[in-house]
Structure 1
Amino acid sequence: MAGMTLCSVCERQVRGKAKVEGGASTSTVDGATTTAAAAAASEACALCFGTLNPQFVARVAADVGRAVKNDFYDVKDFVLSLNMPVSLILREEIVKMRDDLGFAGTLASVPFRIRAIDAYIGALYEATGLRPTKCSNLNLTITFCNDEFLKPDCDFLLDHFPDEFIMPAKKMRLAEPPPIESLLTKVKVLSIASRLQADVAKKFNFETPTNNCVSSFELSRDPIFLAGRYCKFSRNLPQSPWTADDHAGSGIVGGSVSEQVCQFLKQKSLADVTRFTASGREDIDVRMLGEGRPFAVQLVNPRKKLPEWSTIEQEINRTFNDIRVSFLRQVTRAEADILKIGEEEKRKTYTALCYSSKRVDPVMLAALQNKAPLELKQKTPVRVLKRRPLIERPRNIFQMHALPIDDHHFQLRLTTQAGTYVKEFVHGDFGRTRPSLADLIDPESEVDILELDVEMVDLEWPPGNITAQQPVPNGLAK
């Protein structure tokens, strides 16, 4: 094996500080002479690839410092992760197996990852003013890339450990199977290291890199999950942004509940992305009343802490006239995921203004109460067939009350299983919902729904919210 060219930092870690400072102007590592000039060219180190070079460390730290300043993170500390080239990790494992190098330094007992972190944390603290720690919601990941030796390293391991490089059958069937180098991962190297013997390690050629490492970094703060409820008072506001197809012929452009809530939170937190989730959805022409519909928002990489929840609620409610947000609080990721669990087991209460082509019979309306609970068979409605599969779903009506308003209008109050298409239950959707309200009142009559409001979504939300979910009486929908 040809000798290794080591930087001054790695030389100390291999030979030990005492030997390096013992006065020798040159040093030999496996027959290689390391002069002062070679040590100065420390970005050409065959062991660390220059990542421990103090000048290189200072440049990386300065880049991170500028990013922290420009991104306005309101934190005092961070967690550091270093992502090293796979070739560097392989060399670390091979060097540890060499019994002919006469280790006297820290490399024999301290992993490279620890030594590298120790080299960077001081410079990063000086450049950013942030304290490195083991527990923080700001994560700094620095990635170093140098693929110069990926193929020779792979060839070396393939010669001595061919069983570790068996291409999976699925990849072999591809028109262009991936290169064998794609199988050389950090996990693979560590797996091979447990089987590595000294005689094999001595055959490895520690070539000196001709290309410097390229560094990149990512700053990311742990996501924030918020839970709350929203009310929607407009019949021209969708829950989520509409697509081009949705807009076609509608005359409604822009604006939605999720956009209004998320844009406000994004502006306050300086998050990269916001993700809005709700327990079901109402149509654009349906109001959401009562205590509101449960929702959750994920703030990805927020740079600023949010104000008090009550302050956020007040600001949102002052800013937008068509929505009201309440019960806002922070939850965990696991709690936010609860929102989509057991969707069809939830119950929802509706109030609808209905029209009958025939004269309303108060006696028949009163009799509706006794026909619940009632199971429906609902095929996918015609109005949503373009985005939903055609299937038949069983749905339940748990409670049903109707009050006459005049000869042709009445108010209907329903408690249903979540996922019930209430509009289709009222008018029948060309016989696709059986039975329909029209069937129950008078098969000869045409019944349609004029206005619909959701008054309650029966779900304890946010988690731990002890406020009873009682519908707010709104009277007849206007």
Structure 2
Amino acid sequence: MDAVETDVQSKGDSAVVPTVMEEGDAKPADSDVCAVCLGVLQEFCDEAYAIKISDVVKAKNYQFDTMVLSVSLPAQLSVREHSCWLHVKKEVREKSICLDKDDVIQVKEAFKWTMQGLMSKELGGVPISRQTEQFEVGVGFTHPETDSDCHFLAGICSDCFRPTKNKQNVFTKMAVVKALEKVSDEKFLKKFPCPPTRPARKCIAQEVQCLHVSVFVAGRYNKFSRTLPQTPWVIDGEERMESSVEELIAAPLLSSFRAEGFNFSSSGREDVDVRTLGNGRPFALEPLNPHRTRFNKAEVRQLQETINQSSDKIRVRDLQIVCRDAMGHMKEGEEDKTKSYTALIWTQKAIDKDDITFLEETKELKLAQKTPLRVLHCRPLAVRERVIHTMSTCFLDTHHFHLKLRTQAGTYIKEFVHGDFGRTKPNLCDLLKTETDILELDVDSVDVDWPPSIPE
């Protein structure tokens, strides 16, 4: 059996645990495979299998302080458990014994109760904790011989097994359990043997899945290049730029955390031709399924230096490991926070210093901005109200000046300058009564008080 390959959004490391009997090996006609657990508790619920699973975990070399075992059993096993329960219920009723279904331990729980303790011992006494769920070891089993056991339920409870575009198999564990809750005992017993018949083969053990919860790395980045996108620029399946801010930051972090992928987010984004200066733009990177998670302050500082030495196009500061809850601070006040910019402006009409000084007296200028033409392909058409709080100017020559702006987050600066064919009102063309365009744009500050500043 081949191990499943993982990708950037991988759910975890996997490895095949060898079993005594392969799929093709059949039991004789007088099989002793349990009719309910399909061999899960008979063949796999022991110290030997716990050692095999633990060896896989050790080989992956994860860092973790607590763990939890997750178990995936064939959906048809629920049908067999239900059949067995109906058989037991009939027997105890005849003997006037009081027994509720909740008093019966399910196969999955019996397996977990036994194996978690054995695995904890093999892994050096690591605590089992469902509350923290820091590190998850997943084991699964299939049983092709009895796959059709639950098919009869579709004829009784068809509404539980509606196919969807993303669902390859409608007979999921959840759907089967839901159907069993609806079907009457009488209908069930007409369609399925009670007690269930013994299978010829035991279950097949699947890959052992290892998954560490994500960690979160936050910081601020400066971008000094006007040819570097924030995220990979992919057109028709091809990356059109050599690199990106995201990739330059992620590469050293993925290597150090030994992660299988990442998610990147930031407080807004700049265009490829816009620099981000000042204290930089807040960002967060989530390494997926990291194998290493313990870093002291000196090691995090070294990670920051590694990023900064890898390229002169970006610089990172205030790098730190944060908790998931802290991530919300980056998006808080998304509409209310302010940003500051410096733009190099060109005017068609010749100007002097007095022609632009009135802009400094313009406060709280309200704009109505239709979705810019340049982003209309990826954003819905809408009219957004934005505010330019303050402006200041620096005259350069008769056709150029620097314009500094402090604006509401989400303001399209380029469109305010050239008007975007009248889609932004008012615009700088209207204010100066001449055609204007923007030649360069810098982000001077993103006024979000997160992540906390770390002294250099």
TM-score, scaled to structure 1: 0.74
**Does residue 352 of structure 2 align to residue 357 of structure 1?**
no
- Measure the CA separation in 1 of the matches of 2:429 and 2:372: 16
CA offset at residue 80 of structure 1? 0.9
Q: Which amino acid aligns with 2:143?
A: N
- Measure the CA separation in 2 of the matches of 1:329 and 1:67: 31
CA displacement 1:454-477 (0-9 Å, x = unmatched): 011122212xx3799xxxxxxxxx
Q: Which amino acid aligns with 1:303?
A: H
Match of 2:109 among 109, 114, 118: 114
Alignment of 1:32-431 (within 5 A): 44-54=33-43, 57=46, 60-61=49-50, 63-75=52-64, 77-97=66-86, 98=88, 100=91, 110-121=105-116, 123-125=118-120, 128-129=123-124, 131=126, 133-134=128-129, 135-153=132-150, 155=152, 162=156, 165-167=157-159, 171=162, 181=171, 185=175, 187-188=177-178, 191=181, 204-216=194-206, 217-244=208-235, 253-307=241-295, 308=297, 309-340=300-331, 342-431=333-422
CA offset at residue 408 of structure 1? 2.8
Partner residue, 2:18: none
- Measure the CA separation in 1 of the matches of 2:301 and 2:73: 45
CA displacement 1:254-285 (0-9 Å, x = unmatched): 21111111122111111111010111111111
Mean CA deviation greater in 448-457 or 123-132: 123-132
CA offset at residue 440 of structure 1? 1.1
Cα distance change of structure 1 residues 145 and 192 upon mapping to structure 2, 3 Å threshold: farther
Answer whether contact 1:60 1:215 (CA < 8 A) is retained.
no
CA offset at residue 203 of structure 1? 6.1
Cα distance change of structure 1 residues 369 and 233 upon mapping to structure 2, 3 Å threshold: same
2:264 partner SS: strand
CA offset at residue 392 of structure 1? 3.4
CA offset at residue 189 of structure 1? 6.4
Answer whether contact 2:31 2:199 (CA < 8 A) is retained.
no
Q: Which amino acid aligns with 1:72?
A: N
CA displacement 1:413-465 (0-9 Å, x = unmatched): 10112222212212223333222212212x2x332222211011122212xx3
Query: 5+ residue gaps in structure 1?
Result: 1-36, 469-478
- Measure the CA separation in 2 of the matches of 1:383 and 1:184: 45
Answer whether contact 1:357 1:447 (CA < 8 A) is retained.
yes
CA offset at residue 110 of structure 1? 4.4
Match of 1:446 among 417, 435, 438: 435
Query: 5+ residue gaps in structure 2?
Result: 1-26
- Measure the CA separation in 2 of the matches of 1:402 and 1:72: 58
Would you say how many aligned residue pairs link Structure 1 and Structure 2?
Answer: 410
CA offset at residue 318 of structure 1? 2.5
CA displacement 1:122-155 (0-9 Å, x = unmatched): 5535665563512551101111222533544553
Partner residue, 1:433: 424
CA offset at residue 340 of structure 1? 3.9
CA offset at residue 286 of structure 1? 1.0
Cα distance change of structure 1 residues 154 and 233 upon mapping to structure 2, 3 Å threshold: same
Structure with greater contact order relative to length (CA < 8 Å, sep ≥ 6): 2
- Measure the CA separation in 2 of the matches of 1:210 and 1:152: 14
The structure having more radius of gyration, on CA atoms, is 1
Q: Which amino acid aligns with 1:53?
A: Q
- Measure the CA separation in 1 of the matches of 2:250 and 2:182: 48
Cα distance change of structure 1 residues 262 and 180 upon mapping to structure 2, 3 Å threshold: closer
- Measure the CA separation in 2 of the matches of 1:260 and 1:378: 33
Partner residue, 1:33: none
Partner residue, 1:4: none
Percent pairwise identity: 34
1:325 partner SS: strand
2:270 partner SS: coil
Answer whether contact 1:150 1:181 (CA < 8 A) is retained.
no
- Measure the CA separation in 2 of the matches of 1:61 and 1:312: 37
- Measure the CA separation in 1 of the matches of 2:445 and 2:148: 63
CA offset at residue 293 of structure 1? 0.9
Q: Which amino acid aligns with 2:366?
A: E
Q: Which amino acid aligns with 2:34?
A: C
Answer whether contact 2:75 2:173 (CA < 8 A) is retained.
no
2:283 partner SS: strand
Partner residue, 2:12: none
- Measure the CA separation in 1 of the matches of 2:269 and 2:44: 56
Q: Which amino acid aligns with 2:159?
A: M
- Measure the CA separation in 2 of the matches of 1:247 and 1:50: 49
Answer whether contact 2:229 2:241 (CA < 8 A) is retained.
no
- Measure the CA separation in 2 of the matches of 1:190 and 1:286: 59
CA offset at residue 355 of structure 1? 2.3
1:185 partner SS: helix
CA displacement 1:260-319 (0-9 Å, x = unmatched): 111221111111110101111111111111111111111111000253333322322232
Answer whether contact 1:233 1:288 (CA < 8 A) is retained.
yes
- Measure the CA separation in 1 of the matches of 2:416 and 2:196: 76
CA offset at residue 200 of structure 1? 5.9
2:145 partner SS: coil
Q: Which amino acid aligns with 1:450?
A: L
